[in-house]
Structure 1
């Protein structure tokens, strides 16, 4: 493990200055409803209220603002299970950069529609592995890559979520963060380690999208088979950059089922009064496990990463898993 690759707080602070005025400083609020549900104080960081509906706007904006004129002129390309594509499309449109977004057909149709409406070219592939392969080909043809997580600029910008949480939250003992490719938890963990060094950080994945868990078991990034319905967490592998952050800074990565994640989405709507996606809903079953592990005195922080799931998608999953 190369600790030199761990994002430092200065990079995160610089990212915060770079993206200020382009993105929202999202609310950090106590949740009485979740506190009652879980039996411990809960604070939520509401990234689903971010521009484009998820934290991804932070990393996409920071990367776009870092590009040279030649890189901007070439146009940008990204692969996405939904949220990164929406963010890149919308922020590229705002910054007058031509964008191409590659998505698997399993990604939410709504995400493709939003990306196209923002002016991006959307390319669909059969699966996520094919999406990453097409992204690589388009990069080789001259487009500028904006990777969803394998980029220090993107990780530092996602770390601004943790910076704001550290500044705005009351005392916390444990913070839970969803993991897809690992960019969000890498940045948040780096920020919290610098600003709240006593806080434990827990990652959460869904079964069938366990890229970080399998990397930790293998001692480094490995390809994984994807089967989760949670497309926004479905990375075919993590990268060395995010793996190093998690292995150095995160207490443990927990894995929950798709059904639990969808149930968590419904619980967030009912008890926290927010409409999140299953990539955030997975935090609630994981929070129960954390409370069992750490015992009394826990004060939880939940990074509610995004809200880009339609009611129809969530209801369909609820029916599929027998939750209604």
Structure 2
């Protein structure tokens, strides 16, 4: 497992390349949920999500031959954007493999940053294709099965611990688990009494299934939330969640999309469903721990278009 020292080293490495995003109380969400809420606004990060941190952390550790050969990444959207943009900024050629379900904006942004984008029919197929590309000499920058990437994501937690007021519970969305593994490492080291909670959508239960099976297992994916749709957790992220996270909660896709609408109306931020998950999870946490909780929400990304959200809202009959 990584340590807080690894996260601190990553913070020093990526300083100047990424944004120290705002940590702000949200009166609107506090009123909505009936408990004090503080938000960590990673949707204001470079590339629109926290993924720029882990991507930069890993890219800056490449040796000269790896930089010359280029990198490859697999992504449901945000990791691919981050690799494309940050590799382009560092003069490194990047290939990004995404499933066809990835948001159009993610594909266009990655291509616009100069990456070669390949679309696979499924997320499983995308991971398999990346393995083929690795045999051609490209260095894999894995979205969550890499301690250097996880340490980079953990800088979110380091900043949250330094910048937030009193908190009792922090909620983090889970895809493959890289963000929550890093954030939990930092927060539990800096604020030992804090509880960290994860949240997944019902159609993307990689970490829930791993905890039930006592290790990563393949899962069937049916969620609309492609940015949380990992085909399995990794042993690395599973070990962190098992040791450091209070519990992993599940919410429906419809509730995640409603969360996007609520974040826009009450928090005045435009998020994606991976962040919308936080609000229904927060309600579950308040039922479990009581009304005296002081909540922290890691608003992980905002790479959804108005058209995307309108389509999802219509699908679920939301207003």
Alignment partners' CA distance in 2, 1:238 and 1:180: 8
Alignment partners' CA distance in 1, 2:292 and 2:109: 43
What SS does structure 2 have at the residue aligned with 1:24? coil
Alignment partners' CA distance in 1, 2:190 and 2:274: 26
1:123-144: CA deviation from partner (whole Å, max 9, x where unpaired): 0000000000001110122101
Corresponding residue number in structure 1 for 2:215: 220
Corresponding residue number in structure 2 for 1:3: none
Corresponding residue number in structure 2 for 1:250: 245
What SS does structure 1 have at the residue aligned with 2:92? coil
Corresponding residue number in structure 1 for 2:186: 191
Corresponding residue number in structure 1 for 2:155: 160
Alignment partners' CA distance in 1, 2:244 and 2:208: 14
**Offset at 1:7?**
1.3
The equivalences for 1:1-324 within 5 A come to 6-324=1-319
Contact kept? 2:55, 2:86, Cα under 8 Å: yes
- List 4+ stretches of structure 1 deviating above 2 A: none
Question: RMSD of the alignment, in Å?
Answer: 0.4
Alignment partners' CA distance in 2, 1:219 and 1:194: 24
**Offset at 1:296?**
2.7
Alignment partners' CA distance in 2, 1:32 and 1:7: 35
Alignment partners' CA distance in 1, 2:256 and 2:88: 32
What SS does structure 2 have at the residue aligned with 1:124? strand
Alignment partners' CA distance in 1, 2:61 and 2:134: 17
Number of paired residues?
A: 319
Alignment partners' CA distance in 2, 1:23 and 1:47: 11
Where structure 1 has 5 or more consecutive residues not aligned to the other structure, the ranges are 1-5
What SS does structure 1 have at the residue aligned with 2:21? coil
Alignment partners' CA distance in 2, 1:197 and 1:268: 29
Where structure 2 has 5 or more consecutive residues not aligned to the other structure, the ranges are none
**Offset at 1:88?**
0.3
